[in-house]
Structure 1
């Protein structure tokens, strides 16, 4: 009898995978977004010369806000140039990438952020070539033998980003082999993010932009004539 009652109680408390996904708590999480950025030595090339590039990382509660931004080239350029928090987004992080640079960024995930959009500020670039959108992944735990129940929670989003001369050439979720965020190798930026210099695949190629000691240099993008 007791066994039967316990089984019934277990069934009553059962949570399906669909319910677990719907009930996820999107809390703030430190260093829950990590990006491996590898820039071409010809980054943001204009008139046969490379230039630094402003990379913006947008966090939002839904995908619509970023898709609308990426589909509007004029608004996209104005948002990148504004420098402050972007409207319709929970958090915006900006970082200047130099030609030939290979660096990792570690960013806190904002509360209620479910999507991460990345825009590379290429000269005269449009959304399809310069913007990518990712959904924060979930960790799904299954428990129970006779009657399974599920729990879901956000996990760290790790991305590999390759910046070519005129566009993003690769952007995908992939496991990263990086030191823990608290390691001394990381450098804190004024934006609240952390940066870590990585070995460059193009170490023998020329081209690098000037940056200050904290990696916060302003972008030197070419002006349209």
Structure 2
């Protein structure tokens, strides 16, 4: 003969049934937390430590505004040679920027001297404004500007900039950080006898442009006439 459960046993069983969903939720929470520990994302410090200074096609943007009396001598404006140098170590540029003679060496260098990763040369006309995009070379962390004024004084003719780093975070349950060099924008205002204003900032992202097929117009006796076979 089957024995019927007593009232106390029925209450105990009912209480156990009510606690079961809570125990299940607690177990799931433990499993989630355990999983987070097992699959923990990269921390901010780890992302910065593993940062790679890779090549970037539009890594440096130079905005130049020249005074009408640029590089003036004897009351007349002249063209100005502008050199953009990229370095991994800022001391490499500082060694040239401390003395006029060394700065002149950098301005006249046809190739990147020792300690300098890359050198780009530009000729700036008086009363002109130019926007120049320069690729950031591999391993470059600093950018130096040297202006070849007639009266070459490092304090008025040289500037040094550090390339910034952007740190991004992704994920909700598991936070994962990533770090990458920012595009550097430099705004130069070139006066009659030296650099008058020099600002640097993170360059804004530019929207991609979809190319269209068609004739490209440029100066010269082109396009050449088509000769039938």
Tell which structure's C-alpha radius of gyration is larger.
2
**Does the TM-score normalized on the shorter chain lie above 0.5?**
yes
Larger helix fraction of residues:
2
Equivalents in 1 of 2:196, 2:119: separation in Å?
Answer: 22
SS at structure 2 position matched to 1:122? coil
2:194 matched to 1:167?
yes
- 1:32 maps to 59
- 2:111 maps to 84
1:147 Cα offset (Å): 6.1
Equivalents in 2 of 1:60, 1:149: separation in Å?
Answer: 30
- 2:33 maps to 4
2:126 matched to 1:111?
no
2:93 matched to 1:62?
no
Equivalents in 2 of 1:159, 1:78: separation in Å?
Answer: 23
Equivalents in 2 of 1:146, 1:58: separation in Å?
Answer: 43
SS at structure 2 position matched to 1:32? strand
- 2:216 maps to none
Equivalents in 1 of 2:50, 2:37: separation in Å?
Answer: 23
Bigger relative contact order (CA 8 A; separation at least 6)? 1
TM-score under structure 1 normalisation? 0.73
TM alignment of 1:1-225, pairs within 5 A: 1-11=30-40, 13-15=41-43, 17-145=44-172, 148-174=175-201
TM-score under structure 2 normalisation? 0.72
1:144 Cα offset (Å): 4.0
Aligned-residue RMSD, C-alpha: 2.6
Equivalents in 2 of 1:19, 1:44: separation in Å?
Answer: 47
Equivalents in 2 of 1:181, 1:2: separation in Å?
Answer: 44
Name the stretch that deviates more: 110-119 or 175-184.
175-184
Structure 2 unaligned segments of length 5 or more: list them: 1-29, 212-218, 221-229
Aligned length: 184
Name the stretch that deviates more: 172-181 or 88-97.
172-181
Q: Answer yes or no: is the 8 Å Cα contact 1:34–1:106 preserved in 2.
A: yes
SS at structure 1 position matched to 2:168? strand
Structure 1 unaligned segments of length 5 or more: list them: 185-211, 214-225
SS at structure 2 position matched to 1:46? coil
Equivalents in 2 of 1:183, 1:75: separation in Å?
Answer: 45
